[in-house]
């Protein structure tokens, strides 16, 4: 099918939002090292960038899409060591902005590990965490994860992250079951797809 750009109008978003659809999946994130994604809350809310270097559809646009009907989430990651990983969740949703776009995923399947729900080494969970940026930190705990890792993400309060697809340089990592650790990422993509 290929790549198709679809302009749509979504509630609570000014103007038109361009959805990038690739083989029926909508791209919501793309990050290629070494491009940074250190942006304030407003940018993560409204979206920024363009593929292939870095792209973020916007939390509000994603929230509007997944609130209208059920969606699934797919993560594709190419690690610096050459390993390609794909993880998918049959259920994906976000809370609204008042609830800081907290993420919920379930129904993991894939070639790697359930990175949002469990990291065997650290016992951490990104699932059900609120989204944080440097100017809107919502992860609780005494550690400001953003100051260390950069990039907006659903940080876990105690250990911050096992995976962060928006961080910068050496902190741009993804948990690899094969390596039993978080490994530096070369390219990441996140997609959503309606299930009904």
**% the chain with pLDDT above 90:** 30
Q: Which residues does 33 contact at the CB level (< 8 Å), separation at least 6?
A: 80, 169, 172, 184, 185, 186, 187
pLDDT at 33: 76
pLDDT > 50? residue 120: no
Cβ distance 133 to 168 under 8 Å? no
Q: Residue 90's Cα: distance from chain center in Å?
A: 15
Q: What Å distances lie between residue 103 and 18, 52, 155, CA to CA?
A: 22, 25, 11
Cβ distance 7 to 172 under 8 Å? no
Is the CATH number 3.40.50.1970 carried by domain 3-194? Answer: no
Structural domain spans, the chain: 3-194
Average pLDDT over residues 119-145: 74
User: Rounded to whole angstroms, how far apart are CA atoms 196 and 187?
Assistant: 29
First and final C-alpha spacing in the chain: 19
Does an H or E element contain 73, and which? strand 71-79
Cβ distance 87 to 191 under 8 Å? no
The whole model's pTM is what?
0.86
pLDDT at 59: 96
pLDDT tens column, 167-179: 776 566 766 666 6
Backbone angles phi, psi at 31, to 5 degrees: -140, 125
Residue 44 gets the label, from left (phi > 0), alpha (psi -120 to 50) or beta, of alpha
pLDDT tens column, 104-115: 999 999 888 787
User: Rounded to whole angstroms, how far apart are CA atoms 193 and 26?
Assistant: 6
Cβ distance 71 to 194 under 8 Å? yes
pLDDT tens column, 41-73: 999 999 998 877 789 999 999 998 899 889 999
pLDDT at 2: 57
Percent of residues in the chain assigned helix, strand, coil, to nearest 5: 15, 40, 45
pLDDT > 90? residue 90: yes
pLDDT tens column, 1-51: 455 555 566 565 665 566 666 668 889 999 887 777 889 999 999 999 887
């Amino acid at each position: 099918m290929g790549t198709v750009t679809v302009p749509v109008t979504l509630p609570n978003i000014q103007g038109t939002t361009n959805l990038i659809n690739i083989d029926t999946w909508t791209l919501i994130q793309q990050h290629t090292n070494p491009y940074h994604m250190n942006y304030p809350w407003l940018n993560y809310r409204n979206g920024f960038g363009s593929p292939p270097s870095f792209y973020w559809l916007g939390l509000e646009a994603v929230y509007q899409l997944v609130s209208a009907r059920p969606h699934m989430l797919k993560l594709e990651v190419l690690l610096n060591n050459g390993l390609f990983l794909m993880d998918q969740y049959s259920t994906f949703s976000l809370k609204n902005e008042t609830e800081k776009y907290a993420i919920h995923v379930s129904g993991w399947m894939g070639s790697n590990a359930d990175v949002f729900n469990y990291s065997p080494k650290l016992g951490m969970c990104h699932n059900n965490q609120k989204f944080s940026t440097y100017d809107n930190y919502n992860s609780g705990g005494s550690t400001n994860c953003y100051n260390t890792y950069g990039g907006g993400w659903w940080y876990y309060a105690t250990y911050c992250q096992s995976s962060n697809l928006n961080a910068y340089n050496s902190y741009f990592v993804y948990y690899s079951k094969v390596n039993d650790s978080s490994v530096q990422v070369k390219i990441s993509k996140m997609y959503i797809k309606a299930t009904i």
